[in-house]
Amino acid sequence: MQRILVVLSAKSARAFSLVVAISGLWVAPALAAFPDKPVRIVVPFSPGGGTDLIARTMGVAMAQDLGQPVIIDNKPGGGTVIGTDAVAKSAPDGYTLVMATIAHVVNPSILLKLPYVHEKAFAPVMLVGRSPNVLVVRAESPFKSVQDIMAAAKAQPGKLSFASQGAGTSAHLAGELFKNLTTTNLTHIPYRGAGPALNDLLGGHVDIMFATASAVGSFVEAGTLRALAVTTAERSPALSLAKVPTVAESGVPGYVADSWYGLFAPAGTPPAVIARLNSAAKKAVQSEAFKKRVESEGLVISAGTPEEFDRYAKGEEARWRKVVKAANITAD
């Protein structure tokens, strides 16, 4: 009996070795061939905003490196939840990504229920970069400074309105933090993306907006929007914003509300595929074409590892959870 068991074990070992060898021959080429079809980046906002600009500019350069088209798929709505959920439920094969913003880490704090388990649904790929939000008004606005905004808001509580690209987005949080620190009452008007929000700001339907620098840079340069302040701790290095003061130095001590962009894949995406996407994304944001398009509008490129992005995102989630709770921010 012992010899039979030994023989059977040997056969099992050989069979197992054969399976492993065959599997190795099949898996390795599959990973090496990635990608062999178009890659899709979901932008959870309408076309025309800062996130859309970043994704489309990156997509062009990533496509060159990957050797496959990179398709930008705008899925606005639900404070970015609709587009984000589509990615969470996609196959974990690297062919579907989401261009996330601060809303990605804030939604778990302001929404009672999400259609995905946030902590388990995504795999970080790369933090693209960080940039200031910019407090802007239309060129014809009577407001020339942050102090003007504060004075008007205190004189007529609730009358002034601020636009955002959706509940829980950087623009929304920047406005709520401003309200909290200045003890003023502004009315939040959410839109399905920065494009529609800016259109109503330019049309005079809303008073102010804490918009991303990438979304409003060209309008500020053209003179159709006036930049009153940036939301970062220090002034922006962008030429178009270099002379614009920070909100903090304009009379709101301690005010900081960065905007950021980062790529996530569905959880379970193979590490080799994540590494390939990270490499392509890194090359894309370090290309001269990308830098020329976005750095002039305030984006400070990061281009780190997936692990670095994971730590950053978790830190942001913890920081903004405190702000959300203190300001009693809820999804509109």
Domain boundary among 237, 258, 279: 258
Residues 175 and 198 in one domain: yes
Domain boundary among 209, 228, 258: 258
Residues 137 and 254 in one domain: yes
In a domain, 30, yes or no: no
CA angle 64, 212, 68 (to 5 degrees): 15
Instruction: Give 59: exposed, middle or buried? Use CB within 10 Å, 0-12, 13-18, 19+.
Output: buried
Residues 246 and 274 in one domain: no
- Domain of 217, CATH number, reads 3.40.190.10
Beta partners for residue 73, in sequence order: 42
In a domain, 8, yes or no: no
Domain boundary among 238, 258, 278: 258
Residues 203 and 154 in one domain: yes
Q: Do residues 227 and 216 make contact, with C-beta atoms less than 8 angstroms apart?
A: yes
Domain count, the chain: 2
Give residue 56's domain range. Answer: 39-130+259-327
Q: Do residues 294 and 84 make contact, with C-beta atoms less than 8 angstroms apart?
A: no
In a domain, 274, yes or no: yes
In a domain, 66, yes or no: yes
Residues 275 and 315 in one domain: yes
3-class secondary-structure state, position 264: strand
Residues 56 and 123 in one domain: yes
- Domain of 69, CATH number, reads 3.40.190.150
Residues 237 and 93 in one domain: no
Reported pTM: 0.76
Residues 126 and 195 in one domain: no
Residues 175 and 87 in one domain: no
The tens place of each residue's pLDDT in the chain, 332 residues long, gives 343 333 444 444 444 444 444 444 444 444 558 999 999 999 998 898 788 989 999 999 999 999 999 999 999 988 899 999 999 999 999 999 999 999 899 999 988 899 999 999 999 999 999 888 999 999 999 999 999 999 999 999 999 999 998 877 888 889 989 998 999 999 999 998 888 999 999 999 999 999 988 788 889 989 999 999 999 888 887 767 888 999 999 999 999 998 899 999 999 999 999 999 999 999 999 999 998 887 766 788 999 999 999 999 999 999 889 888 877 777 65
Q: How far is CA 19 from CA 15, 25, 30, 218, in A?
A: 6, 10, 17, 58
